[in-house]
Structure 1
């Protein structure tokens, strides 16, 4: 990193602006405000602005509603554009979406936010990019635009790495990765985040910080992809992936193998492509990353095929079937209402014209959002009543409490089909008469009567050393 001879003292006063008040921007803005920093939230969506100004949130994240209700009025304000008064920092948190057909990044929101920020920088304003981007984007796009307005920009890339459902806690506990244009920008970024996250992971450049974010999610995708590949192999060999993975992990002092299941969300389904594009632009190949993403993208279709095969096996014609899909958000634990990158999206595309009724249930996602995705929104009891099949996509802890043998037998048409993506219903339903229970990695007729190993594994388990 280039040396800077005359560093300005990091400012502890002044407003910080956050552009984009979605899952990333809103949690950061409120977290900064909570530690005493006055924040201006800039949001393009008029409905979101209206709700936030009224002290209400338009997204589900534990703790957000409480902060909106309790923060002093001057600590967090919401507007549609940056003020003309000097700002301590501008943090860009707009969404960066990948086109599902081309896998190319839509640069529109980032370009617009960058142009707006550049018009409002003063000599002392630090610009922080938090939106996830391909390696080199901050320098190529953001720095280039800032240079049109100032001869010495202050610029850093400080990625978000929180998990939805625990974002507020992780903003304070996770090390904040910081990469900067120069030493002065680095010190300003450290000072900005210090009241919120005392632990920092400093890297040598903007590009190093950009890549750090991408490899975190790509690695997660990779290890989950191996679990899903094991599931594919086990099914082909008439074996049980759950049994094999549990046996391999038991008291073995190496990294655990991941269980098979859907890999979703806006980050895990996008960031591997951004990393692959970054590598390709530099002439590098990424066969492992590409293979994992390909394997993981097949999971929703595999689930649907299992359900349709099970319906056929029980004598139910697909065109006459009522199917209930449980878990419309991309994950169930920690719970979220985010449907971006959800398995339910592809499941709806694959089933809506093949079954008579496609119902959808989620504990957090709003009914109108469920309907937008192609489902008939229902309560869990209503959805299970006279259903031929239940397709459980997420690991929300409430589903095992409500989808038990009695509920299935008393409400669903028998023989009932239950597909359980994560195997959370196995001990209750796997050996129940009148229920065709299936799960990822153990399909067909071999999915039943194979769960004695669950009890053995539980009795053999001991705390890790």
Structure 2
């Protein structure tokens, strides 16, 4: 692959993917593997260099191998759209929530739409894949396209992938397809048929936009109730795991979710994108809001439970303690290096300045990222050595190395272990010289 001029696509023009992040790069690589000439447009020069070299700038199983197996010139990368109008453009830029205003930050999407509008032809299909509030395609993207094309082809086709399985799910999951009109929807189905035969055409752009948001808000709500059970059970002195497992056993109703931190860029953002739109139409969506509030309280709840157990187990002040935080990425299974929406920044904020050493380990997150989040990056064995406590934030299978013997031989009393997901319960829960805690377990 080269950082240069693209080759031709199916009709002599390429498909352009704008934004080569966790959403855009798997799509671009998959389209290229399906035989389409693809131009990946990316503003970050480091990302362009990495992709042009056939590597992935982030961890996604199989992605680097897919890139390296592409024919030369099939996927090219550029800082700008090609001079010749493309066959189709898929916009995959970030749409975060603004920390200052609490509103969606759509600047990248607006800039992408304006650039695409200047580069497109009458028959160029524009697909928005970025997650957006309901109404964004029609109210924000469409007017920019219409400044250049009277009747543009516009579709919204959300991704609903899980990191760690993105390539497989691009093929396996049904693709929601919403269009400005029938022609837009049909063209979008043709494009995605190159990757998956499974499509769910819907009646409008707005329907497709809402589907993406309610999928993640629903997941957030289900997990939020599991977390609320854990907090209620803690107040009663009960074992939330026992409550949930016993309630679910042989009962023909929807299962109660186990407690655990709800993270990632989608589950922590999409409920806000949804409620931002609903408030504009006079509805506050209280269930969605309440679930997000519960899930956001989990890191602080976990830290304070850990601190109480530490202070009850030793006379050594917390200010003299060494604490190891394991699992800086937002999840451990499937493994990822993504820290967006992770519990770790909140844990760092809650402990920074309260302990002597705040060390951290992750199997995939680079040390420089760990340090930027407020931790001292360490190898796992070094982090355990002379630590007073461990907080395990995700369930990465590599933490099976944290055995009772390792804890006993390397850590100092009181050896407090808080385990968010119960990944170490079998190894550590029944040893009198180890204080083992987990979310939902007394």
Correspondence list, 1:229-378, <5 A: 229-315=228-314, 316-378=316-378
Correspondence list, 1:27-38, <5 A: 27-38=26-37
Q: What is the aligned-residue RMSD (CA, Å)?
A: 1.2
CA offset at residue 101 of structure 1? Answer: 4.7
CA offset at residue 124 of structure 1? Answer: 1.0
User: C-alpha offsets along residues 106-137 of structure 1, whole Å, 9 cap, x if unaligned?
Assistant: 11111111110111110110000000000000
The CA distance in 2 between the partners of 1:402 and 1:347, in whole Å, is 23
Superposition TM-score, scaled by structure 2 size: 0.96
User: C-alpha offsets along residues 334-353 of structure 1, whole Å, 9 cap, x if unaligned?
Assistant: 00000001000111111111
* Kept in 2: contact 1:215–1:275 (CA 8 A): yes
Bigger Cα displacement from structure 2, 249-258 vs 139-148: 249-258
The CA distance in 2 between the partners of 1:233 and 1:57, in whole Å, is 43
Structure 2 residue 71 is matched with structure 1 residue 72:
yes
The CA distance in 1 between the partners of 2:63 and 2:164, in whole Å, is 10
Structure 2 residue 96 is matched with structure 1 residue 81:
no
User: C-alpha offsets along residues 133-170 of structure 1, whole Å, 9 cap, x if unaligned?
Assistant: 00000000110000000111000000010000000000
The CA distance in 2 between the partners of 1:26 and 1:111, in whole Å, is 20
The CA distance in 2 between the partners of 1:359 and 1:223, in whole Å, is 32
The residue aligned with 1:4 is none
Bigger Cα displacement from structure 2, 262-271 vs 101-110: 101-110
User: C-alpha offsets along residues 172-223 of structure 1, whole Å, 9 cap, x if unaligned?
Assistant: 1000000000011011001000010110011100000000000000000000
The CA distance in 1 between the partners of 2:141 and 2:186, in whole Å, is 19
User: C-alpha offsets along residues 11-48 of structure 1, whole Å, 9 cap, x if unaligned?
Assistant: 76631000000000001100111111111000000111
The CA distance in 2 between the partners of 1:386 and 1:185, in whole Å, is 62
User: C-alpha offsets along residues 385-441 of structure 1, whole Å, 9 cap, x if unaligned?
Assistant: 100010000011221x21111111011102200000011211221111211111112
The residue aligned with 1:120 is 119
CA distance 1:249–1:57, shift in 2 (3 Å): same
The CA distance in 2 between the partners of 1:202 and 1:353, in whole Å, is 53
Q: SS state of the match for residue 323, structure 2?
A: strand
* Kept in 2: contact 1:12–1:191 (CA 8 A): no
* Kept in 1: contact 2:389–2:414 (CA 8 A): no
Q: SS state of the match for residue 23, structure 2?
A: helix
The residue aligned with 2:7 is none
The list of structure 1 runs, each at least 4 consecutive aligned residues, that deviate by more than 3 angstroms after superposition, is: none
CA offset at residue 285 of structure 1? Answer: 2.8
CA offset at residue 88 of structure 1? Answer: 0.7
What is the number of residues matched between the two proteins? 433
The CA distance in 1 between the partners of 2:373 and 2:283, in whole Å, is 37
User: C-alpha offsets along residues 219-256 of structure 1, whole Å, 9 cap, x if unaligned?
Assistant: 00000000001011100011000111111111222211
Q: SS state of the match for residue 398, structure 1?
A: helix
Bigger Cα displacement from structure 2, 278-287 vs 190-199: 278-287
CA offset at residue 261 of structure 1? Answer: 0.6
Structure 2 residue 431 is matched with structure 1 residue 428:
no
Correspondence list, 1:40-189, <5 A: 40-189=39-188
Q: SS state of the match for residue 119, structure 1?
A: helix
* Kept in 2: contact 1:322–1:389 (CA 8 A): yes
The residue aligned with 1:220 is 219
Q: Could you tell me which runs of 5 or more consecutive residues in structure 2 were left unpaired when the two chains were aligned.
A: 1-9
The CA distance in 2 between the partners of 1:111 and 1:131, in whole Å, is 11
The CA distance in 2 between the partners of 1:56 and 1:167, in whole Å, is 16
The residue aligned with 2:5 is none
CA offset at residue 283 of structure 1? Answer: 1.2
* Kept in 1: contact 2:179–2:204 (CA 8 A): yes
* Kept in 2: contact 1:324–1:383 (CA 8 A): yes
Q: Could you tell me which runs of 5 or more consecutive residues in structure 1 were left unpaired when the two chains were aligned.
A: 1-10, 448-465
The CA distance in 2 between the partners of 1:410 and 1:194, in whole Å, is 56
The CA distance in 2 between the partners of 1:416 and 1:105, in whole Å, is 43
Q: SS state of the match for residue 332, structure 1?
A: coil
The CA distance in 1 between the partners of 2:97 and 2:114, in whole Å, is 21
The CA distance in 1 between the partners of 2:259 and 2:410, in whole Å, is 29
The CA distance in 2 between the partners of 1:212 and 1:82, in whole Å, is 29
